[in-house]
Structure 1
Amino acid sequence: MKIYTLRSVQKLPIGPEEAWNFLSVPANLKTITPDYMGFEILSGADRPMYSGQIIQYIVTPVAGIKTKWVTEITHVKEGEYFVDEQRFGPYALWHHKHFIKPIKGGVEMEDIIDYKLPFGIIGQMAHPFLVKPKLKEIFDYRKKKLTDLFGEFKEQNEQDKRVLKKDILN
C-alpha cells in the first residue's frame, strides 16, 4: 500500500482574511481548476465551508472520462486551515490539508495532499508518468491563477531592507 504526498506552497500579497474568504467558498474551486478538467459542482457548495459539509463534483481528469467525486470537509479552523477528504471518487485515499499563515507582506498558503491510487501495482506504475505529473500541472495552474487574481508576492531583498533601515534611523 503506497501512499504518496504532494506539497504545494505559495505566497500571495493579500491578508489572511482575504485569502480565507476566497478559499473557504467551495464554488471558487472552479475558478482555480483548469478548464479542461470539466469541473462542475453538483451540490453542497451553497454556503461557506463548515465541518461535515459534503460537496459533489464532476471532473474529467483524463481522456474525457467524466468522474464523480464526493468530498467531505472534515476539519475547519476559520482563517487558518481546513481539510477535505474524498468519500467517493478516483482515488483509493485523498486527504487534502489547506493551511493559511500570515507572513510579512501577505500570506503563505500550503497544500498537503496524501493520496493512494486504486488498482494496486497498476496504479503505482501509472503514478510517475500519469498521476503525479497531472497533479503537479493542476497545482501549478492554481498557483498561476491565484497570482493572476491577487498579484505576485514580492519579498524584500537585502538592498530594500538596508534602505528601509537607513530611512528609519534618519
Structure 2
Amino acid sequence: MRTFTLEREQRFPGPPDRIFDFFGDAANLERITPPSLGFRIVTPQPISMREGTLIDYRLRLHGIPFGWRTLIERWNPPHDFVDRQLRGPYRLWVHTHRFTPVDGGTHVHDHVEYAVPFGSCVDRMFVRRELDRIFDYRCEQLTEILGAC
C-alpha cells in the first residue's frame, strides 16, 4: 500500500494547554471544516476524549455522503494526540497533532499519513487537491478563532 504525507504547521498565541483544549474538543471540528462538506458529528456530545474514544461523523465529498469513524489512538495532553480512521473513505488515515511551546505561543504541527484506493494517480488527480483545500480552510478558520503569532 502506497502512503502519502500531509504536513501543516501554525503558531497561535497562548499556552499549549489552551490550544490543545480547543483542538481536543471534537465539537470544534464542525467550526473548522469547510461548510461544503456538510460535516457533522453523530456521536452524542459531550464526547469524553481519551485513548480509545470512538467518534462517528457524517460528511459529503463531491456530493457523495459517507460515514467516518475515528479512534483516538493516543491522548497526551497538552503535548499531542493521534486519531486513526477505522471506517471511511481512506485505506489509511493517521493524523498526529503536536503542540509545542514557543516564545509567546504554541506551535501546532499536523502530520497526516494516508493511503487511497488506486494510489498515486487518484491522490494526484483528486485527493491531494481536496485535502489542501480542506486544510487551507482549516488554517484560515483557526487563525480567525485562535489568532496568529
For 1:126, the equivalent position in structure 2 comes to: 122
For 1:167, the equivalent position in structure 2 comes to: none
TM-score normalized with structure 1 length: 0.84
SS in 1 for 2:49: coil
Segments of 5+ residues of structure 1 without an aligned counterpart are 154-170
SS in 1 for 2:90: coil
Cα drift, residue 21 of structure 1? 1.3
Who wins on radius of gyration, i.e. which is larger? 1
Question: What percentage of residue pairs aligned between the two structures are identical?
Answer: 36
- Give per-residue Cα distances to partners, 1:74-127, cap 9 Å, x unaligned: 101110100000000000000110011110010000110000002x3xx43121
For 1:141, the equivalent position in structure 2 comes to: 137
Highest relative contact order (Cα 8 Å, sep 6+), 1 or 2?
A: 2
State which drifts further: 123-132 or 98-107.
Answer: 123-132
Runs of 4+ in structure 1 deviating by more than 4 angstroms, as ranges, are none
Would you tell me which structure has more strand in proportion to its own residues? 2
Partner Cα distance (2:56, 2:81) in 1? 17
SS in 1 for 2:21: helix
Segments of 5+ residues of structure 2 without an aligned counterpart are none
- 8 Å CA contact 2:16, 2:101 repeated in 1: yes
- 8 Å CA contact 1:56, 1:70 repeated in 2: yes
TM-score normalized with structure 2 length: 0.95
Alignment of 1:89-168 (within 5 A): 89-118=88-117, 120=118, 123-153=119-149
For 1:32, the equivalent position in structure 2 comes to: 32
Alignment of 1:37-48 (within 5 A): 37-43=37-43, 45-48=45-48
2:28 maps to amino acid: N
SS in 2 for 1:31: helix
